[in-house]
Chains A and B, each alone.
Chain A
Amino acid sequence: MALLKFSRRAIIAAGAAIAFATSAIPVTAQTPDDVLVVGQIAEPKSMDPATVTAVNDFRILMNIYDGLVRYKDGTLEVEPSLATSWNISDDGTVYTFKLRNGVKFHDGSALNADAVKFNFDRMLDDGHPYHDTGPFPLSFFFSAITDVSVIDDMTVKFTLNAPYAPFLSNLAYPTGLIVSPTAVKKHGKDFGRNPSGTGAFKFGDWRSNEAVVVEANADHWEGAPNLNAVVFRPITDGNTRTAEMLAGGIDLMVEVPPLALSQFQGDGYTVHEQAGPHVWFLILNAKEGPFADVRVRQAANYAINKEAIVNDVLEGTAAVAAGPTPPAFAWAYNESLEPYPYDPDKARELLAAAGADGAELTFYVTEGGSGMLDPVAMGTAIQADLQAVGLKVKIETYEWNAFLGVVNPGLEGKADMAEMAWMTNDPDTLPFLALRTEAWPDKGGFNSGYYSNPKVDELLEAARASTDQNERARLYQEMQTIVQEDAPWVFVANWKQNAVTSDKVGSFSLQPSFFLLLDGVTKN
């Protein structure tokens, strides 16, 4: 009996504890009306646009900074931003930009030609006094620049070592965003935590692993944004991010896990989708083994049921890819291209003709990684499809960084095929780095399957040297037709980026660039 007293006391204590805990229940996470809370996928690395590489960081930075040019709403074509106009020399090597008057950085200093020069010299010149604020991993986007000179206060001239058509598009990329030289000089290496740009929002606060807060810039050259502030919360786990969205802790969530999309079908949420400049493909080893024969490479393209992959594995969050260039590059995309149909019989025929029946293949699969979608499930589906036409596929799985370590140096002597995905900002980038003969791994490129076609090389060189968009478009379209026929890759999917907003959020749309632009967004 005496014991019971104790347990009764214990029960009372436990009850008190629960009462205490529940009394602590907050008036759940109601955020102010004019503040947008965004669920991000990770803690950002830095707010210095020249030093970062992740889309996750870009989503914040595009709202704090402006570049000389930017992508037109809903497209991947450039339009004026901090530069109001520019002209390109006939040989395509000199770009002269007129800057917008009266633009000020958030720290009060003025945007002028000296500031622009400072930005590019800091990245590109090893001897620059603030070069030590790097490293600048994507500075090779601008490696064609040999000189940046100030013509007058509001005019700046870039000289390139050769014509380089993607230059303007690269300037619109976050690596080209213009930072305040005054702030870099003041904060040095800590500029990344004390950023200052010209964008629609100015930096407010960065609480590590909790939130980055940006506040409206009332003096923005396009007028103040509608929102008072935006809070970016890093929520790494996709399920937890979904739960936060359902519980009302965030207003906008990016990268919704495909299986969670059905949670947001009802009223109260809007699901946004936008195809981007992304392509998911299999690199085929065209140098040795069965895939050295073009018929076997085509057979793989026929054998794999891409519809099933995008609809069943990816739950409709991607579209079937037809060729090496994503349709998001509308101006450069070859509309006449049809994806390889799913045709196992045709595949078997081609394999028989090539004498590759029952060939054994080694297939590198990654566990995850940037833009890789659901690589293990996709790899398994692909394995089954190839098995069905008589190819024996052995999967080897690697963690993402290890995967890049084995795939980027080339597949020779190791594997017959490997998964890969790219997101780029210009139709030049991926084929130039991954399909040319000059881009074989031993020459420093990403052509890990050793594809080589002199005609493709020629088209890509010509497209890079041309500054006429129509001419470039024609060259890229021709390249796509040849590459599709040659099948150095299995073209699998183009990812549709997604996001969910609550019904309080208005005027939001995703961009094909995958950036998150919030200056027009409202919340009530």
Chain B
Amino acid sequence: MIAYIIKRLLSAIPVLLGISVIVFIIMALIPGDPATAILGSFATPENVEKLNRDLGLDKPMIQRYFIWLGNMLQGDFGRSFSLNKDVLDEISERFGATLVLAGVSFVLCSILGVVAGVLSASRQFGITDKLITLSVLIGISIPSFFLGMMMILFFSVQLRWFPVSGMWPIYGARDLSALLSHLFLPALALSVVATGVIARLSRSAMLEVLRQDFIRTARAKGLSEARVIWRHALKAAMVSVIPVLGVQAGFVLSGAVYIEMVFQWPGVGRMLVEAILKRDILLVQGGVVFVAACYVMFNIVVDIIQSLLDPRIKT
């Protein structure tokens, strides 16, 4: 087991190095440089050159990459020039917000998705199944940012039940209830598509399992239907559902970019969008590497959980 974990961890190193190279090259090749973004209409070639020199962007690309990589390995992600702030400080501040949003959405879509899938499979072709399948189809088909905007219009502007945007109230206590009221709409909007995907997969995985002999045996033993479904069948079905959860975690994380823009959630996704538009190279590079590292780690954890559920995977 330990060897397996170490092997998986080692395999993450080339992945992350590759990502760092790719994001660096993209930011270097993308048209428009930071000096132009900062100077806007005032970007004369002369001003651009001077500002690029001030920002340390006049060195050759290869040299800049290794300086950046070397600094990063020592924990120095550099300074953001659009925010005038240490990149790592900014990322860690904002990653917390993304983690809260994506984490809650992920838990929400995992639970709702699996429960919906199981209910729907256990009553195949029944009215529950049809209703769930239909809602799932609708959920998958609505772009989350659009759903988010509609939710804001209905629940925040019309009904005034929830605040429109942000994570905390401008005035008043920063307690759990304040957070939940700000979190409710974005988390829901973010989880809808993933819930649909997970529900579909859980349904087909369950249908597969329910046809197998050990289920018939369990029923024949006289176990209650609930026990058959939720203990025996679900455990077997989870083996094929869990890797999908891993993929959906990535989906939720990337979907957070849109939702954070719509709800102005102060997370890392919105940070990246704004940083790209401002050509804030170090912030984009640092942010992408950081998010990629988290995603890779999460998938390793998923793999390990899976290997615990199904010992055959290790070999």
Contacts and interface: CB of A to CB of B under 8 A. Distances in A.
B42 A138 contact: yes
A445 B45 CA distance: 8
A243 B31 contact: no
A32 B172 CA distance: 11
B213 interface: no
Nearest to B46: A444
Contacts of B168: 210
Interface residues of B, number: 70
Contact of A137 (B30, B39, B230, B270): B39
B170 A231 contact: yes
Contacts of A35: 171
A409 B45 contact: yes
A249 B165 contact: yes
A26 B177 contact: yes
B4 interface: no
Contact of A408 (B45, B90, B229, B230): B45
A399 B276 CA distance: 11
Interface in B171-199: 171-172, 176-178, 180-181, 184
Interface stretch (A3-11, A308-316, A467-475): A3-11
A446 interface: yes
B32 A405 contact: yes
A22 B42 CA distance: 50
A43 B274 contact: yes
A246 interface: yes
A375 to B, nearest CB: 14
A23 interface: yes
Nearest to A35: B171
Given A208-B90, A240-B152, A409-B45, A192 B161 contact: no
Given A135-B54, A404-B36, A5 B84 contact: no
Given A25-B162, A134-B54, A249-B163, A3 B33 contact: no
A21 B180 contact: yes
Contacts of A89: none
A89 to B, nearest CB: 28
Contacts of B47: 137, 140
Given A42-B274, A137-B38, A29 B31 contact: no
Given A23-B177, A45-B83, A401-B32, A240 B164 contact: yes
Nearest to A420: B41
B149 interface: yes
Contacts of B153: 243
Contacts of A248: 160
Interface stretch (B13-21, B65-73, B244-252, B260-268): B260-268
12 contacts: A7-B119, A24-B177, A26-B178, A208-B85, A233-B170, A240-B264, A243-B157, A246-B157, A408-B45, A421-B41, A444-B46, A445-B44
Given A31-B171, A247-B163, 7 more contacts: A6-B230, A210-B266, A237-B264, A240-B262, A247-B160, A405-B31, A446-B44
